[in-house]
Amino acid sequence: MKTWYCCSIAGVLATLLSPVFCLPQYVPLQFSENTTNAAANLTAIPASFPFVIEGCSAYTGNLVHVLTKAVAALTPALNDVGLGLDSRHGFKALFKDGATSTYVRGILRSIASAQPLEGLDPDPSVPSAPRFACVTPTTISQYRFLEVDPWKICSHPNAGQAFYFGGSSYIFVCSSFWRGNIAPQRNACPSVRRNQFLGGGEALSMYLTYLVIHEMVHFYLGKASLGAFTDPPEVYPINECVALDPLNSVHNPQNYQFYVAMAQQGCTNVPDPDRPPFILDQGNTTLPASLLTAAAETLPPLATAAVEKLPSVTTLSVLESLNEVYDGLVGL
Ligand SMILES: [Zn+2]
């Protein structure tokens, strides 16, 4: 059975389509002429650019611009993540356990360095960094591993703006992607009341620079990523991200997206996940500290680590059943 792996499309489509990870449907932001057109004249990809961009025509320069900003946006989080629970920018709210900091840093560094991964379609034997393809009506004929039409996915009324095709090296960019602003014009930290964020966090993180980070987290988490059919499913609103336990937090791309945004925008007003309403029944959801610490100790230096190996280490016990479900659904 082919399974649609997107947050926002369900129903009958779910049984027809292939593994796809995509973004939630947000209220589109105003298209920013200033920030987008600044790079519009750039159509060639710089030689040193680590990501592959295909089929984007006049938008190639814009995507180079977005991805360059995305990598730059990681720096504040990378400088903060080592502080673990002493972080003032939401590490505790989003990841809960200091033992996860090595894991989180590994994912962020992999994105920042465009770490190539093996085992991904269409050339599993050739390590590949994330590849971005702009979706057109003919995209399906250009990628032999595709079992669904990205154009149809992007055309669905509830489709996100981009999606990662599970098991592949490809992140597909829908034309609706370009309705978003590239980066915040000013810091926009959410308010906190009664130990909860007000709103869903969109104003904090709903920028193209952060959206591509979300999709690249899917790329590096691979099969360990939460998705529409995992238990729990992937979540997007910021308070739901805070409510996840540590293990699910490090496997939920939106948690990284919010953390990177909060660190870059200097947000320091955050809820405490150890207090209501976030405090969790630790019944059978504990685990992470020892497991993640063990995983970190067995990893090679992160600069050269193949991060795709991390999830299989950290999900050995508690997520074993989850992975069984996951494998069944995505057919990987
Ligand atoms: Zn996602």
pLDDT in tens, 29-68: 333 333 343 344 456 788 889 999 999 999 999 999 999 9
Instruction: Give the pLDDT confidence of 216-249 residue by residue, as tens digits.
Output: 999 999 999 999 889 999 999 999 999 999 999 9
Residue showing tokens 């409510």: 243
Domains in the chain, please, with CATH? 11-325 (3.40.390.10)
CA of 6 to the centre of ligand 1 (A): 7
CA of 215 to the centre of ligand 1 (A): 6
CA of 309 to the centre of ligand 1 (A): 20
CA of 7 to the centre of ligand 1 (A): 7
Reply yes or no on whether the pLDDT at 147 is more than 90: no
d(CA 315, CA 287): 10
CA of 168 to the centre of ligand 1 (A): 15
Q: What are phi and psi of 164, to 5 degrees?
A: -95, 130
Rounded to whole angstroms, what are the CA distances from 196 to 157, 262, 267, 276, 278?
A: 31, 15, 14, 9, 8
Quote the tokens at residue 110: 């992999």
d(CA 198, CA 200): 7
CA of 98 to the centre of ligand 1 (A): 24
Q: What are phi and psi of 24, to 5 degrees?
A: -70, 160
- Exposed/middle/buried for 127, CB within 10 Å: 0-12, 13-18, 19+? middle
CA of 234 to the centre of ligand 1 (A): 7
Q: How confident is the model at residue 139 (pLDDT cuts 50, 70, 90)?
A: very high
d(CA 224, CA 239): 22
CA of 99 to the centre of ligand 1 (A): 23
